[in-house]
Amino acid sequence: MKNLDLDKLDDIRDQMADMKYESDYMNEMLNRDYDIDIDEDDLDDELGELERELKVEKQQKNKGQIQNNQQMAI
């Protein structure tokens, strides 16, 4: 009969218990009913606004870089 390392066996049991806990938690989260009434038009409007803000920020950043480059060239 092989020698059993009881510490190693105990570690494996602890790991399995942790994995079961995590699995149970994930299953609970996936099965939870999030009864949220979302207006998709509002979400689309908000997404459009965020995209416009990002575009403006990018343009301002590019404009600032161009100005810095011009000042360095002088």
pLDDT in tens, 16-26: 999 999 999 99
For residue 70, pLDDT over 80 is answered with no
Per-residue pLDDT band for 73 (boundaries 50, 70, 90) equals low
Asked, for residue 71, whether it belongs to a domain, the answer is: yes
Please state the domain count of the chain.
2
Q: Alpha carbon of 51 to those of 12, 25, 65, 71: distances in Å?
A: 49, 35, 21, 30
Q: Compute the C-alpha angle 18/21/25, nearest 5°.
A: 140
- Give CA–CA dist 10/43, Å, rounded: 50
Q: Is residue 37 part of a domain?
A: no
What pLDDT score does 38 carry?
83
DSSP code of 27?
Answer: H
**Which residue range forms the structural domain that includes residue 18?**
1-32
- Read off the pLDDT of each residue in 39-67 and give the average, rounded to a whole number: 90
What confidence tier does 74 reach under pLDDT thresholds 50, 70, 90?
low
